[in-house]
A and B are shown apart, each in its own frame.
Chain A
Amino acid sequence: MTKKKQRNNRLVFGVMIVLLLIYLLPFAMVLINSVKAKRDVITNPLSLIGEQGFYGKNYLLAIERMNFGQVFFNSLIITISSVLLIVLFSSMTAHFFTRNKWKINKFIFFLMVTSMVIPFQVLMIPIVSVYGNIFHILNSRVTLICMHVGFGISMGTFMFHGAIVSSIPLELEEAARMDGCGRLKTYFIIVMPLLKPTVVTLVIIDALAIWNDYLLPSLILSKKELYTLPIAAQSFHGDFSSDYGLMMAGLVMTVLPILILYFALQKHIIDGVVSGAVKG
């Protein structure tokens, strides 16, 4: 019986390896072709090394033409600031809502939870109209950050609300109050540290979403020096669509930062995504 099971497991293992290779094949193809000269990609995209040999120059060119340093910095600063603000604002909102059961709080919370089902496509046209044509504040990183925050608040509040209700005892906060802490101090010293697991989950989900977001930034940022990575990849693709080797190098450069992070934080990322998906 166990022998049969062992053999069965080995079979499953083999099947999984084959499936995995098929799954990861597109990445491999891109990687192989990113170090080939233009002509080699067109004549034979399947060969491991082109006739003109290893062509690492693609990467240098891609970095230069994509303005990679600037673009990477834009993505980084936008993602970090948005995520930090989402975590701060939504956890404070959720804390206030759970500890003060006023009618208005319940109403706002209800609005937020319901609004989570609204797809971005319903809001994009009015957003461009209101902020482009009335307020004229498009083409700014700050505007983009504010909007990412606005879109992230609902889910953040929802998740923190659940976490506070289930895992932070009211007695703890009351004790802090007795000892003379104000509301803000209680929040920062007692509540915030206890919310750490939820913070990690939310940071991972939001950081991935914001880093990879294309539609919202593409509507807001039209100046080249403000581009984030996905928009830069799109415009790079448009400019060099005939030079496949160069383009592949550009794609590898866009994907690489997040893959490196994934190898380092794999377990946290997967746990975060799972708990976010199941709650949200």
Chain B
Amino acid sequence: MKKEKSIRSAIHNAGSFAVFVGPGLFFFVMTIIVPLCYGFYLTLTDWNGIAKTKEFVGIKNYLTAFQDTKFWGAMGLTLIFTLISVILVNYVAFHLARLVTSGIKGQNFFRAAFFTPNLIGGVVLGYIWQFIFSRALVALGKSLEIGFLSKSWLSNTVPAVCALILVTVWQYSGYMMLIYIAGFMNIPKNLKEAARIDGCDEKQVRKYIVTPLMTSSFIVCIFLSITRCFMTYDVNLSLTEGNPFGSTVMAAMFVYRKAFSDKNYGLGQTEAILLFAVCAIVSLLQVYITKREEIEA
């Protein structure tokens, strides 16, 4: 009698599990877990994406990937791009947030307006800026005779990378600004007042009260901007397409081309995993270093 009851409740539990968790779990497993496992399997083969059979090659892809100078070149470019972009994005976002919350008129309007670029996908943003760099700025440079503008930025490597960074800063600073604003709003007013009564001027309040209490916002924003910059693909594709002469191909685009253009799925997947590994190490390191500075409010 008792046993029958416990069996029945087990069936009932399994049934509710299937109804409540089943559909979500199914899609999760099919789009994340299965491809993840299959991806590791692919790294051990030399599959070209079409052939019916796959040759098992062991860790050869990993050895090739470690010696692939073009891949590490793209990775180096990604690292430089990420470093500069992350610093600029956060610098701009932090100061925008500071200005917006300083009690000026129309602060909600400014907040909304600076966020606008984030509503639009990277591909379209890239095309908008491609027009600006290759037409509008050139016309401006020629009519005002400004040397560095009168030639398209996208036709040389260094200016093209600068263009990528500029667009990234323009795109993400509004988003990070929102997080910094939330951080500023969470600083208790009485702490600032207490500091002022103790004789701090505005600069000291900023240094000893505001900045330490903003650490958690910094951690979130820097983490988000590192992971996003590392995986930049859309803007890279639409703004420079890797040109001139493939010199602005960043890691995500390199991996894409390795697999889908060069038809080397095994090596492409291996390099995708390496890209993820480098990104994970960098962002975890960042969190680890900044966490030590964190103070509980």
Name A residues whose Cβ lies closer than 8 Å to a Cβ of B: 9, 12-13, 15-16, 19-20, 23-24, 26-27, 29-30, 33, 41-42, 44-46, 85, 89-90, 92-93, 95-97, 100, 105, 108, 111-112, 115, 117-130, 133, 146-147, 149-151, 153-154, 157, 183-184, 187, 208, 211-215, 230, 233-234, 237, 244, 247-248, 251, 254-255, 258-259, 262, 266-267, 269-270, 273-274, 277-278
Contacts and interface: CB of A to CB of B under 8 A. Distances in A.
A266 B24 CA distance: 30
B233 interface: yes
A278 to B, nearest CB: 6
Contacts of A121: 231, 233, 252, 255-256, 272, 275-276
Contacts of A251: 124, 127-128
Nearest to B28: A153
Given A92-B24, A154-B28, A274-B179, 17 more contacts: A13-B104, A19-B96, A24-B116, A46-B139, A92-B21, A100-B13, A111-B33, A121-B276, A125-B42, A125-B260, A128-B260, A129-B42, A251-B127, A255-B124, A274-B182, A277-B179, A277-B224
Nearest to A93: B24
A119 B276 contact: yes
6 contacts: A23-B174, A29-B128, A30-B128, A119-B279, A146-B27, A255-B124
A12 B272 contact: no
Contacts of A215: 233-234
Contacts of A124: 256, 259, 272
B81 interface: no
B36 A126 contact: yes
A119 B38 contact: no
Nearest to B129: A26
B57 interface: no
Using C-beta atoms within 8 Å of the partner chain, give the interface range for chain B: 35 or more
Contacts of B178: 270, 273-274, 277
Contacts of B119: 208, 212, 258-259, 262, 269
A30 B34 CA distance: 43
* Max chain A C-beta neighbours (<10 A), residue from B108, B129, B181, B269: B269
Interface stretch (B130-138, B190-198, B206-214): B130-138
Contact of A248 (B24, B114, B131, B143): B131
Given A122-B39, A125-B259, A234 B123 contact: yes
B275 A214 contact: no
Nearest to A212: B121
A248 B119 CA distance: 18
A29 B128 CA distance: 9
Query: What are the 6 closest A-B residue pairs judged by CB atoms, nearest first?
Result: A150-B31, A212-B121, A96-B20, A89-B24, A126-B35, A126-B39
A178 to B, nearest CB: 18
B120 interface: yes
B25 A123 contact: no
A44 B31 CA distance: 49
A230 B127 contact: no
A257 to B, nearest CB: 10
Contact of B24 (A127, A157, A277): A157
